[in-house]
């Protein structure tokens, strides 16, 4: 009789998931260009993001419902984009809240951006609870499509 080390099902599942995830992403370098470095360092508030690649730019959309543009700061340093802000409570003086399922407080989201982004020309817009950053690619990074003639 031999002794076999027992692994809980969750440990085997996590290992299988990690392997599958790595296999799926292998060969898709563009999928790893935006790496999150600590989604949220301030509790429950973690704004959701969407990154879209266009021919000449990347577009980053951040969900910030209820956050005023004055309460958001954006900075870039050494290839890291940092978005910080605060969702403030809308409590009115003389009122009492009986039930609230909303989270308030400070948030921070940091993302490593590709070296192909021209950081001097990043533009930001805030509308309807969505912060949108247009990050243009450098001229060297924009690949022109060439037609190949068939002989």
At residue 140 the predicted structure's pLDDT band, cuts being 50, 70 and 90, is confident
Q: What is the pLDDT of residues 104-128, one digit of tens each?
A: 899 999 999 999 999 999 999 999 9
Q: What is the pLDDT of residues 53-67, one digit of tens each?
A: 998 999 999 999 999
Domain contains 60: yes
Domain contains 136: yes
- Which domain CATH number covers 53? 2.60.40.790
Q: Which of 142, 66, 148 is nearest to 104 (CA)?
A: 66
Residue % of the chain over a pLDDT of 70? 71
What's the CA dihedral at 73, 76, 82, 87 to 10 degrees?
Answer: 10
Domain contains 132: yes
Cα–Cα dist 150/26, whole Å: 32
Cα–Cα dist 114/128, whole Å: 27
Q: Dig out the tokens for 42 from the structure.
A: 């301030």
Q: Dig out the tokens for 118 from the structure.
A: 């021209």
Domain contains 26: no
Domain contains 69: yes
At residue 130 the predicted structure's pLDDT band, cuts being 50, 70 and 90, is very high
Domain contains 61: yes
- Domain coverage including residue 46: 33-89+101-140
- Edge-first strand listing for the sheet containing 72-77: 35-36, 105-112, 80-87, 72-77
pLDDT of 38 reads 47
Domain contains 145: no
Asked if pLDDT for residue 40 goes beyond 50, the answer is no
Domain contains 8: no
**Local structure of 30: helix, strand or coil:** helix
Q: Report how many domains make up the chain.
A: 1
At residue 42 the predicted structure's pLDDT band, cuts being 50, 70 and 90, is very low
């Amino acid at each position: 009789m031999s002794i076999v080390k027992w692994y809980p099902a969750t440990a085997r599942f996590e290992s299988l998931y990690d392997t599958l995830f790595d296999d799926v992403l292998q060969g898709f370098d563009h999928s790893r260009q935006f790496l999150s470095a600590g989604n949220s360092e301030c509790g429950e508030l973690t704004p959701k993001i969407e990154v879209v690649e266009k021919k000449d730019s990347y577009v980053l959309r951040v969900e910030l419902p209820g956050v005023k543009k004055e309460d958001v700061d954006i900075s870039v340093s050494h290839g890291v984009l940092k978005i910080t802000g605060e969702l403030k409570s809308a409590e009115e003086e003389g009122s009492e809240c009986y039930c609230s399922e909303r989270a308030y407080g400070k948030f921070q989201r940091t993302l490593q951006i590709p070296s192909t982004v021209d950081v001097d020309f990043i533009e930001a817009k805030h509308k309807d609870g969505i912060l949108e950053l247009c990050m243009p690619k450098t001229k060297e990074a924009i690949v022109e499509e060439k037609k190949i003639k068939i002989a």
